[in-house]
Amino acid sequence: MTGARSKLECAWRGGLIALLVCACSGEDPVGRAPTEREPDELLVYAVNYPLAYFAERIAGDLAEVRFPVPADIDPADWSPTPGEIAEFQQADLILLNGAGYARWLEHASLPRGRRIDTWSGFRDRLIELRGGVSHAHGPSGDHSHTGTAATTWLDPTLAIEQARAIAEALAQARPPRAAAFRKRLAALVAELVELDAQLAATAAKLGDTPLLFSHPVYQYLERRYSLNGRSLHWEPDEAPDPKMWRELETSLEDHPARLMIWEAQPPAGTTRRLDELGIRATIFSACANAPAEGNFLSAMRAGAAALEEMGELLSPP
């Protein structure tokens, strides 16, 4: 799933809120240019932006956090070169999301002792994906799974567990700094709890209002807040074809949604046609990669705010 983001539209939907949040959190974007590291400084690589953000928040100046995925590529689909994988091999810690996230990990050689499975605390709470194409070899041959939902960080409670796993790994790598890591973790957890409360309040207002998700990346958000959602397979940078519109119309017959949640701003034509169907579009970035402005928390809060705003607009007077 790839998508381009419209910088102007993001700023218009939640720009003011985002700016305010940025001013409050005051965090620098992740993935600063490599600098000379202190001898005591850890080198941390992350497979997606949320993990990189958590690592930066927790480690502060005690680690150099690198997230080498280009800004316009979905980290789940990124294919690093062997040279880029060799850079990962040099890290003191390699933060993995788990749940099959980042297909390139299947083909890569990474040092086991430095891989941090941030999902180890909630293995039993992963969401299996149904549907999708699988294959087998021969009538009784092996078969392949269709996958596991990977955007775990969209559930703030799981994000907290991932942050805790990162803090624990940092503390093990640098025991003298453990207290500092835990302190910074506590601050991050407090903000994630606050985010959870914000999203819960938004979800409460939405109730069981039927929702549409443009792409199946919101499973953990949906589950956490018991949203009544249904996923399509639309891309924000592509206009849906007639077949896709027919599928939507068919879906609306038993799932009369009036709100569709997008990862990024869809084309104007799509928005118009959705309006004709009585469906409003709102943006809730999945935050797999770094936002153009702000950070993970500001982007999540902006998404929550946009959702709330749209929910209010659509609620009966």
Partner 1 sequence: MREIAYLAWCYLSYHRIKTAILVASIALITFLPAGLNVLVSQSAEELTARAESTPLLVGAKGSPLELVLSSLYFESETPAPTTFAESDRVAETGLAEPIPLYVRFRSRSYPIVGTSLEYFDFRGLRFAAGRPMAVLGECVVGAEAARELGVHPGDFVTSSPEGVFDLAGVYPLKMSIVGVLATAHSPDDRAIFIDVKTAWIIDGLGHGHQDLAAPDAESAVLSRDGDRITANASVVQYNEITAENIDSFHFHGELATYPLSAVIAAPHSEKSRALLLGRYQDDDASQLVVPTAVMDELLETVLTVREYAVAAVAIAGSATLMTTTLVFLLSLRLRRREIATMMKIGASRSTVAAVLISEVAVVLLLGGILAAGLTLATSRFGSAAIRALLLS
Joined tokens for residue 133: 């194409």
How is residue 13 written in tokens?
Answer: 């939907």
Residues between 194 and 233 with contacts to partner 1, criterion CB under 8 A? none
Side by side, the strands of the sheet bearing 63-66 are 63-66, 42-46, 93-96, 115-117
Position 146 contacts partner 1 (CB under 8 A): yes
| Residue of 143, 146, 125 lying closest to 135 (CA atoms) | 143
Binding mask 33-72 for partner 1 (x = CB under 8 A): ----------------------------------------
Structure tokens at 138: 């021969």
DSSP string, 17-41: HHHHHHHHH-PPPS-PPP-PPPTT-
* Shortest separation between residue 70's beta carbon and partner 1, angstroms: 17
C-alpha of 128 from chain center? 17
Minimum distance from residue 255 beta carbon to partner 1 (Å)? 21
CA separation for the pair 17, 60 (Å, rounded): 25
Q: According to CB under 8 A, which residues from 155 to 194 bind partner 1? A: none
Contact between 107 and partner 1 (CB under 8 A)? yes
Could you tell me which stretch among 21-29, 46-54, 66-74, 138-146 binds partner 1 (CB under 8 A)? Answer: 138-146
| Amino acid at position 144, single letter | S
Nearer to partner 1, 120 or 226 (CB): 120
Looking at 36, 61, 124, 142, which residue binds partner 1 (CB under 8 A)?
Answer: 142
Q: Which stretch binds partner 1 (CB under 8 A): 20-28, 127-135, 195-203, 256-264?
A: 127-135
**Cβ count within 10 A of residue 238:** 13
Binding site residues, partner 1, CB under 8 A: 79, 82-83, 85-86, 89, 103, 106-113, 131-139, 141-144, 146
